[in-house]
């Protein structure tokens, strides 16, 4: 049986193997993001993104929809969506980072939100985080249900 050894760049048999520090950095990034979301600090959240921001979602009727947002579009939509923040919600999130390389990580999140009346809503979404000179940033958001009024995606 062939032995495998991690190379200096963190790859093992051509696949990046994140260290505990790599995973902790992603967890810390999301802790900071969640704190901003709790306050409704949309402008600061926008500072954690790379624009244009890619979005993939679906539209009623069973098709996917994709779009790119500028910083201005992101701030406008997220201000409307987040309102005054998530402080009135109990949030339980489980995040699973999947490192493609040392600089690209897909993070799947399963979240359950409970409002002050005890109503619960669960959702699953994913983000692509990219390492920049200034640290981690999100560049692509994937979540169902955002595409009301968006044109369906077309091939070619």
pTM for this prediction = 0.84
Q: Determine the number of helices (DSSP H) and then strands (DSSP E) in the chain.
A: 3, 8
Contacts by residues 41-44 (CB-CB < 8 Å, ≥ 24 positions apart): 41/85, 42/74, 42/75, 42/78, 42/79, 42/82, 43/75
- Whether the predicted pLDDT of 142 surpasses 80: yes
* Mean pLDDT computed over every residue of the chain: 88
Q: Residue 147 region, left (φ>0) first, then alpha (ψ -120 to 50), else beta?
A: alpha
pLDDT class for 90, splitting at 50, 70, 90? confident
User: Which residues is 53 bridged to in the sheet?
Assistant: 69
Alpha helices in 1-154 (DSSP H): 20-39, 42-46, 71-82
Residues 57 and 144 sit within 8 Å (Cβ to Cβ)? yes
> How far is 43 from 76, CA to CA, in rounded Å?
10
pLDDT at 11: 63
**How much of the chain exceeds pLDDT 70, in percent?**
88
pLDDT at 53: 98
pLDDT in tens, 5-30: 455 566 666 789 999 999 999 999 99
> How far is 30 from 36, CA to CA, in rounded Å?
10
What is the average per-residue pLDDT within 119-128? 92
- Whether the predicted pLDDT of 117 surpasses 90: no
What is the average per-residue pLDDT within 37-41? 87
pLDDT in tens, 59-84: 888 899 999 999 999 999 999 888 76
């Amino acid at each position: 049986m062939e032995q495998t050894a991690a190379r200096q760049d963190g790859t093992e048999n051509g696949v990046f193997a994140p260290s505990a520090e790599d995973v902790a950095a992603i967890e810390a990034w999301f802790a900071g993001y969640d704190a901003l979301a709790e306050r409704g600090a949309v402008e600061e959240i926008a500072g954690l993104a790379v624009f244009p921001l890619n979005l993939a979602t679906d539209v009623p009727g069973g098709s996917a929809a994709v779009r790119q947002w500028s910083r201005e579009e992101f701030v406008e939509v997220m201000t409307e969506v987040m309102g005054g923040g998530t402080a009135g919600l109990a949030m339980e999130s489980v995040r699973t980072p999947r490192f493609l390389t040392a600089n690209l990580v897909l993070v799947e999140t399963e979240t359950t939100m409970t409002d002050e009346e005890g109503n619960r809503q669960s959702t699953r979404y994913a983000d692509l985080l990219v390492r920049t000179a200034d640290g981690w940033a999100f560049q692509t958001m994937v979540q169902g249900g955002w595409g009301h009024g968006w044109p369906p995606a077309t091939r070619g």
